[in-house]
Structure formats: C-alpha cells, structure tokens
Structure 1
Amino acid sequence: MNRKTFIRITGLSTAGLLLSSLSYAHNSSTIKIKAVAFDAFPIFDPRPIFKTVTELYPEKGKQLIEIWLTKQFGYQWLRQSGHQYKNFEEVTKDALEFAFAQCKIEADKQTTDLIMAKYNSLTIWDDVVLSLEQLKQQGLKICFLSNMTESMLRKGVQNSGIENYFDYIISTDKKQTYKPSPTAYEMGIEELKLKKEEILFVPFAGWDMAGAKWFGYPTFWVNRLNAIADKLDAEPDGVGNNLVDLVAFVREYNK
C-alpha cells in the first residue's frame, strides 16, 4: 500500500489546507505542561494491520479497508449516541465483518481472527523510544488516553518494551464512552489530577485534535501522514510529523 492510498483510507482527510511539518503558537500564559496524554497511534504504527489486509485480498483490499475504517468510527459514534455501547475491539470486529459482506468476501473465522490479532501485536514507530525518554527527562508524566481497550494498549506497550515510560494507561472503555465525548477527555484530568491546561494531548487523527481542543486541552497534532485538517473550527497549538517535533514543541512551550 502506498503512502497516498493509506492517507486516504484512514479517513483523516477532508477539505482543507495541508499543515506544515512543524508549526506552533507561542505560549503566552504562565501555565506549563506537566503531562503528555497520547492517543494510541502517535505511538503505535497501524500500517501492518492494513498491509495484512492488502496481502490477503490484493484486488479488494483497498475497498475493504475503506469500508472497514468508515464503519469502525461510525459504529463507535452511533453506539455512543444511542447508548448501546460495545468496546473498541468489538466494534472493530463488527465493522470488519460488515466490510467483508459489503465487498462480497467470504472470510472464515480464522481470517477474521488473523486480521484482528494485528491490533493486539502492534509495534511502535521508530522515533518513539528516544522521544519518550526525552519527555521523561523533562519531568513530564506520560499516559495514553485512547478509545482502544486497556488490554489492547497494555499488549502494545509490553510488545514494544515501553511500559516503563507510561505512568497511566487510560482507556475510555472504563467509562464506556468514546472520544470525542467530553466525558472521555475528562478522564485525563481525573487520572493525572492536573488542570486541563497542564495536560498536552497528542492525537493521531484530525477529529481527535478537534475534540481535545473543544474540551480545552492544549494539543499537539502528530500528523504522521500529512493528513488534511478537518473543518471543525479547531486549530492545534502545534503540529508536526513525528515525536521529535513534539519534544521540540514541549521544550519551547515550557520556556
């Protein structure tokens, strides 16, 4: 799968202008960042999941992934709106099975389980370890604040050997909700016991950046795929392509 295709299938891109590789607004307040809360995918690389799909289904893989991801997010938000909660892993599997049916692919349980297992064997991007080390050297608390289940997050952390860097693993599943609900973002304040202005939220997706800004978090968008910004009346405090850019932003912000 090439870069252009992956950007499109993630569903992160809507009309707008491409953001620069690194930009941020000057922090005019005296409040300093004391913690960094990550979504899962600035840390974990999701590309192997989709590589598996395209290898299994070379002709229909692209279509399958597009439908799968659209339904994955759609099911989360529809179930939240209708108060019919299922966790991230369950709705992701439901969305995959719908995508198989839509694409007229007769996938057996073994194939479905093989694809879903990729979510439980995630590996990290190349810049993660050094960047987390540098953030810890700045005296910051580090946590996840993700829609993925705690079990999925812990498996990814353990698989990658980065458990010592994380002070908290916060899954919205604990409150049976999903970002961008304010209830989901509020979990960061509750666990870290800090003001929202002291917690930097780091999303992978543009909609998650907008949700965090609506809630009131300072936000640095790790836009690894150069996605186009969603039209949601929200601007990040900073944006970059990787965690190296994030570390530089935090240093500047806390001057």
Structure 2
Amino acid sequence: MSKPTIKAFVFDAYGTLFDVHSVIEKCNELFPDKGEEISQVWRQKQLEYSFLRQLMGTYTTFFSITKDALHYACKQVGVGLSEKKEKELLSAYLKLNHYEEVKGVLEKLNPYQKAIFSNGSLDMLSPLVEHSSFGHLVDDVLTVDEVKQFKPTPMSYQLVLEKLGVRREEVLFMSSNPWDIAGATNFGFYTAWINRQDKVMDELGVRPHYEYKDLNGILEHLG
C-alpha cells in the first residue's frame, strides 16, 4: 500500500491515550480485592450501554452512561455503592493515567493537526486532558456529544471532517478498540489499531490499515 498523505492525526481517548483500568487502584481502595473485577465489568457495560442506547435511540451523555455502568458493576460484583464512593470512583475516571509514550509521540507530531475524538462528553474529557501532561500538545478535543451519535456510526466520524477541515483520506485515526477501528475504516479514514493487549481483530468485514503495539508505531507516517 502506498504511503498516505496525512494531515490530521486523530486519537480515540479511552484505552488509546488513557488507561481505563487505572481506576482499579481506587476500586481496590474502596472495595478490597474487588477492584479488577469491578473495573472490567464497568468498562464492558460502559461500552455496551453506549451501543444499546444508540440502537434504541435513547442518547445520553457518556458521563451518565459511565455512572449507570458503575452501578451495574457494583451490583454484579455484590458490593454496596454509597453516594460518597460513587463520587470518588467517578472522580477517578476524570484522572486516568495516560500511557507512557503518549506525550513523546505527540511532541514529535507537532507540525500536524492533532485531535482527540471520543465518545466521552466534555465534562469527562476536559478534566482528563487538563490533568494530563500533554493537554497543550492537542489542538482539538472533539466529542460525539455535538452530534449525539456514538461511534462507530458514520455520522459520528463525519464530525472530524467538519471540525478539522480535512478529507477522509487525510486522516490517520488511532484507537485501541477494534470496534472503533472497524467503524473508522468503514467510514474511509486511514486507521492504526493500537493493539496494546495483543487482541484479535473483530470479524466485521474490515481490517485496520496499520497495527502497532503502542503509539510509537505511528511515527513512521511523519514526513
């Protein structure tokens, strides 16, 4: 495949830039030895609820979905969630750890447009980016909340073109989530699957254009 001319590097947030399971520490603090299980169920339901609400036509913000998913996870695991503990855990989601290579990669991409594009709403994304060490390196933080269409719907990805003023074939979109990569590839973006956990790609009739174990791989598209 010939090397594309990329003008905008667009990153998913959760699992790609930020480690969603860094909440395990806070979960374990509040619910000893239950942290990993709560975190896994929490993330699973967070995604599932966004897909289901998209199908049902009952859009609500990702923050609301994250809160609902947390309640489910605690019930599933069999622990009581007080108002105080709920607040602490949701607050932890606004201060997720970012992966170690992120800042260095963004610094090297400086001449290019760099944007985050997430299902997260701004009430989640803004504090997350501000708390990170690389917020000043990102040009735009885009949220599906503007169109009320969760990824991976085509209408959600259209927002990137409208906001950044680029064509589909000028975007390299990065995500660790196979469903997001499938949606973005289907839409017409060049895609790089950041396969941090050595997963298997979903069988959805599309493949990522590139696959890397972390974001350092995308640096081959410079110049």
Task: Output the CA distance in 2 between the equivalents of 1:155 and 1:207.
Answer: 25
Q: Does 1:135 align with 2:115?
A: no
Q: Does 1:156 align with 2:156?
A: no
Number of residue-to-residue matches in the alignment? 222
Task: Output the CA distance in 2 between the equivalents of 1:68 and 1:151.
Answer: 19
Q: After TM superposition, give the deviation of residue 50 of structure 1 in Å.
A: 2.5
Aligned residue for 1:246? 218
Instruction: Please say if residues 63 and 120 of structure 2, whose CA atoms lie closer than 8 Å, have aligned partners that are also in contact.
Output: yes
Task: Output the CA distance in 1 between the equivalents of 2:44 and 2:105.
Answer: 31
Task: Output the CA distance in 2 between the equivalents of 1:246 and 1:105.
Answer: 42
- Structure 1 segment 110-121 matched on structure 2, within 5 A: 110-121=84-95
Q: After TM superposition, give the deviation of residue 55 of structure 1 in Å.
A: 4.1
- Structure 1 segment 1-255 matched on structure 2, within 5 A: 26-27=1-2, 31-41=4-14, 42-136=16-110, 139-248=111-220, 250-251=221-222
Farther off after superposition, 48-57 or 194-203: 48-57
Q: After TM superposition, give the deviation of residue 59 of structure 1 in Å.
A: 4.2
* 2:109 partner SS: helix
Q: Which runs of 4+ in 1 moved over 4 A?
A: none
The TM-score, its normalising length taken from structure 1, stands at: 0.81
Q: What runs of 5+ residues in structure 2 fail to find an aligned partner?
A: none
Instruction: Please say if residues 207 and 230 of structure 1, whose CA atoms lie closer than 8 Å, have aligned partners that are also in contact.
Output: yes
Higher relative contact order (CA 8 A, sep 6+): 1
Tell me: CA distance 1:52–1:27, structure 2 relative to 1, closer, same or farther (3 Å).
farther
Equivalent position amino acid for 1:247 in 2: L
Farther off after superposition, 56-65 or 106-115: 56-65
The TM-score, its normalising length taken from structure 2, stands at: 0.92
Equivalent position amino acid for 2:77 in 1: C
RMSD: 1.7
Aligned residue for 1:22? none
Task: Output the CA distance in 2 between the equivalents of 1:61 and 1:168.
Answer: 33
Task: Output the CA distance in 2 between the equivalents of 1:60 and 1:119.
Answer: 17
% identical equivalent positions: 31
Instruction: Please say if residues 123 and 159 of structure 1, whose CA atoms lie closer than 8 Å, have aligned partners that are also in contact.
Output: no
Instruction: Please say if residues 175 and 184 of structure 1, whose CA atoms lie closer than 8 Å, have aligned partners that are also in contact.
Output: yes
Tell me: CA distance 1:151–1:107, structure 2 relative to 1, closer, same or farther (3 Å).
closer
